[in-house]
Amino acid sequence: MKSKILVTGGAGYIGSHTCIALHQAGYEIVVYDNLSNSSREAINRVSHLIGESIEFVKGDIRDADRLREVFAAHQFFGVIHFAGLKAVGESVAKPLLYYNNNVSGTITLLEVMAEYGVKNLIFSSSATVYGDPETLPIDETAPRSCTNPYGQSKLTVEHILEDIAVSDTSWSLISLRYFNPVGAHPSGQIGEDPNGIPNNLMPFISQVAVGKLEKLRVFGNDYNTVDGTGVRDFVHVVDLAKGHVAALHYINNKTSSIGFDAINLGTGNGTSVLELVNAFESNTQQEVPYQLSDRRAGDTASCYASADKAYRLLNWKAEYDINAMCRDTWNWQSSNPNGYQ
């Protein structure tokens, strides 16, 4: 019998790609999403790509009664929890919104999971929980601290999961800390479709290349890095999707529950902003004009992962390189200049 997985936020960027990976691995999927920063069209396209329809439920993770309806109708093996707000700047302006959605919503989800005896969870966390790293590469034992409410909301949920694991040993809770997700499905059918001006570097680059935005602003060119611009660990979204499946397999293959564990998903390599721009231009033959600006408050010079633990526990490692990330991003953006609209 196929295991059935509830994917909260499954219509979003990483969620939609993970639905494809789950299907390929033989899991059944139910997607639960309020569509606040995602599109129903993403799930339509996922259904087309996998050749079968996906059950979609429009609902908010803060709505316990709606969640109960879904849990009562299905026997889930576990939950992959993507549903959350994710814009750093917006979190600074609207902290209560972020704590209400990301923290309170997760508490409601966990309460309903406990009611129905579903105690396997893969949580979508972030490298932002490491704050400004003291040493590189960053491994899972690094100190955690946050510079904004978005990161703080992720870290708060991690603390909640740790406390649950101590209080009840029947839970298996894995927090996947992503570094910088980029790229798109090789088909060009699904990809990153941010609301308004993109917060993240790669969709900003691709929207400049497609003519939606005039030029890229590069914040800071005086960091102690290869070319003075910030260095990040960019990881292909298809690799990330496979990481979630690997984490489910890990839980499935264990003879006992695992409590709480945190695992980085990254390539282990740092790429600077200008290196990414140059790679994008050379892989797409598109020009990306940019303007150098002052450093942005809260940004760190370098941030990249140690992905050794993911390989050791999950047998996972990133396979796509920066060239593939650029090509797949452009394939999506050029085919869908206005995203899913």
What is the CATH classification number for the domain harbouring 147?
3.40.50.720
Name the residue among 40, 110, 113 with its Cα closest to residue 74. Answer: 113
The answer to whether position 166 is within a domain reads yes
Distance CA 187, CA 332 (A): 8
How far, CA to CA in Å, does 153 sit from each of 70, 98, 107, 239? 25, 7, 12, 25
For residue 177, what are its two tokens? 């800390």
Distance CA 336, CA 193 (A): 9
Distance CA 221, CA 56 (A): 45
- For residue 303, list its beta bridge partners: 232
The answer to whether position 336 is within a domain reads no
For residue 18, what are its two tokens? 């993970």
Label residue 126 left, alpha or beta by phi (over 0 means left) and psi (-120 to 50 means alpha). beta
**pLDDT given at position 123:** 98
The amino acid at 227: D
The answer to whether position 46 is within a domain reads yes
pLDDT tens for each residue of the chain, 341 residues long: 579 999 999 999 999 999 999 999 999 999 999 999 999 999 999 999 999 999 999 999 999 999 999 999 999 999 999 999 998 888 999 999 999 999 999 999 999 999 999 999 999 999 999 988 889 999 999 999 988 899 999 999 999 999 999 999 999 999 999 999 999 999 999 999 998 889 899 999 999 999 999 999 999 999 999 999 999 999 999 999 999 999 999 999 999 999 999 999 999 999 999 999 999 999 999 999 999 999 987 788 999 999 999 999 999 999 999 999 999 999 999 999 999 98
Distance CA 11, CA 42 (A): 6
The answer to whether position 109 is within a domain reads yes
**pLDDT given at position 197:** 87
3-state secondary structure 255-277: CCCCEEEEEEECCCCCEEHHHHH
The answer to whether position 22 is within a domain reads yes
Residue 304 bears catalytic tag: no
**pLDDT given at position 274:** 98
Catalytic residue among 13, 98, 130, 150: 150
Name the residue among 158, 147, 35 with its Cα closest to residue 85. Answer: 35
Q: Which residue segment(s) compose the domain that 144 sits in?
A: 4-184+234-266
**pLDDT given at position 196:** 86
The answer to whether position 215 is within a domain reads no
In sequence order, the 6+-apart residues with CB closer than 8 A to the CB of 114 are: none
Structural domains of the chain, count: 1
The answer to whether position 147 is within a domain reads yes
The answer to whether position 242 is within a domain reads yes
0.85 cut: is pTM over it? Answer: yes
Q: How far is CA 204 from the centre of its chain?
A: 17
For residue 144, what are its two tokens? 């955690």
